[in-house]
A and B are shown apart, each in its own frame.
Chain A
Amino acid sequence: MFGAFTPGLILIVVAVLLPFVPKATRSWVFLAAPILALLHISGFTPGMTTSWTLATFELTPVRVDPLANVFGWIFALVTLIGGIYAIHLKDVGQQSSALLYAGSALGAVYAGDLFTLIFFWEIMAFASAYLVWARRTDESYASAMRYLFVHIFGGSLLLGGILWQISETGSLAFDTFEPGWPAWLILGGFAVNAAVVPFHAWIADAYPRGTITGSVFLSAFTTKTAVYTMARGFPGWEILIWAGLLMALYGVTYAILSNDIRRVLAYHIVSQVGFMVTGIGIGTELALNGATSHAYTHILYKGLLFMATGALIYATGRSKMTELGGLFRQTPAIFWFYMVAALSISSAPFFSGFISKPMTISGAEYASTPTVVLLLHLASVGTFLSVGLKLPWFTWFGSKPDTPVTVKPIPWNMYAAMGIGAGLNIVLGVWPAPLYGILPYEVTFDPYELKGLKKGFQILLFTGLAFFLIVDRLKPKPKIQLDTDWVYRISKDAAWRFLVVPVQRVFAWGERASWGAASTLARLGIDPVSVARTGRPGPQSDDHRSASTELRVPMTLMVVISAATIVGILVVVWLRG
């Protein structure tokens, strides 16, 4: 229908045109972009590629295969749902940057070469930072700057690795990497975007500070694009098993302690991506299918979680559990939408997470150590504890805050988007065949075997029992927890003094010196004959209207150009002689 160009291009073109569209129809034009992208992807067949030659390099801006298609489908779908959620939005900057962000993520997953990949990778960083900045507060501005700082660091690792890779292999092809320094640098770049501990703190810093609609998009693309690139380039790298486990447990531990509801969810992105990274590290067909399908369902339920919490923030103007509570009667629909997503992320039977996360764990049971399996189960317990129990309990139930909460109505489109998201999470949970049919490898896993049901029900119900036994001890506190961003946030003053101030002083010296030199030259140029006769420059004059002013510039230029020419000639003669 459209030929083999990247579907991301559709979103990017619409993002560029959006400011010129009348305000009243802008949100609807936004929705047209992901719909066209979905139609475009539906015409893709595995094996389709587009290749260009750039100098001596072969570029492949589009490579269609099952792995890329899984991510392509869900990226376009979540852009559509997010667009519906944001229909009420009257901020063209956010709308355009959301489309640019989604389009570049799509561009990255269909990239068949490393040049195309980093091109879209960098656009993603800037477009996504805007969604944090767009809240237009001091905290979001600073957070967006830190976000950019971290992603530019990650992008630099990736670019360095790519250049090194090209110099060693002479190829731009983006396929499985062989161990070596270039591959480690590239993996480092991917790890920053995947929020691998200790490069993860940007996610808990920025996502709670993004705009209500912006964070829905943020939750979908950056980390999952990185999961895709890891699955493409580093399947079976054992270090990823342990990196993923650390992420899974680290994320849930911080989520248990977090007070801001979207920070809880942000830490859970770290945790859930940890499951995917572990699956990629195991590297078997079952584990890779598990990681890929988990990325797919994760985008659906995490988007719904951010939509529901965003709707609550919209309605109440509050985002901390200590300032919420007892809201069930006022916001029952938001609660139920939230719970669909919470049960999905907790792998409850008949919800989307149940068809994907246990597949990754099953991959570990067959091909990894018992320790890995047990720690993954422990992380699953933590997921339900914090997202499925603690957050909803202290937000919608529990005691009411001292200051009464005023609830304002939310737009119809928010309900519509959450309804679609909840419906998809349930449909996929009870009917996984459509997803299993597009996974990279043939699926032999059946989540609804008795063993799987037993595991799902027992873990959730007994975690629930334990939670209600210790619920008072888990009460949220108005605190933050130090994380690895402390290193670059607390060192801000020192960095300013030791890195910025010296550079500024050099520039200041240069500025003074150049002004001084220009001033001296100007004074010499007022009356060169007198200077030649007396050997002293003329008096400094501030009278810019004096007659000699007209002569200053050409005379000074003449002296400078002459001197430069003579020096140049002397240098050439000296070099030749």
Chain B
Amino acid sequence: MPTTFGRTLIVMPALNEHASVGSVVAEVLSTLPGVGCLVVDDGSTDTTGDVARAAGATVATLPFNLGVGGAMRLGFKYALRYGYDNVVQIDSDGQHDPRNVPALLEALAGADLVIGARFAGKGNYSVRGPRRWTMWMLAAILSRVAKTRLTDTTSGLKASGPRAVRLFAEHYPAEYLGDTIEALVMAARAGYTIRQVPASMRVRSGGTPSHHPIKAALYLGRAIVALTFALARPPAAKAIES
């Protein structure tokens, strides 16, 4: 496993996470010795970048906020240019446990994209109401697209193999929900193998998922729009494959 760590880049998109990013970086570096750790400071207005740098991470500072999609694309580009084979996305708010990463990397041996799923029997993460139905609907449709059973398609904990890194460095979607829904569709369309691995989650240090009915309905609507356009878009991967 340590050899895999050396070829793996942990990418953490961070927007104003100075309270948690330091401890997450420290935990990543101690739990996964040898990995590269890139914090993408996505236009933070606090000391996120300095805290992450002090904790031992490499920090790339975006001049303005691009969202998770843009920050991740920067991460994939960095991995490609500095010779990392795998990219693992971890949230900088501390909700993902770095101890899940070895299992993700192991699954990557037989897959191009591995999702750390929150409902797959490990940990205690729960969502209620319309938001849950949205996630269920997304899981059902995306399972068909990806030809594998997925239960948590909106998880931010994901590992990408070499082929996926090459695809995502150019084409990682930057729109809202693009980093979850469209990225999966893109990878599935490119003929990549997608797998799911159970992952335990922690309580987020800041805030909880919103359960406001209007917000949840909006989320459902935007998810449907994102999904529809992702499926309607011409496949982007052909140029990469050759």
**Same complex:** no
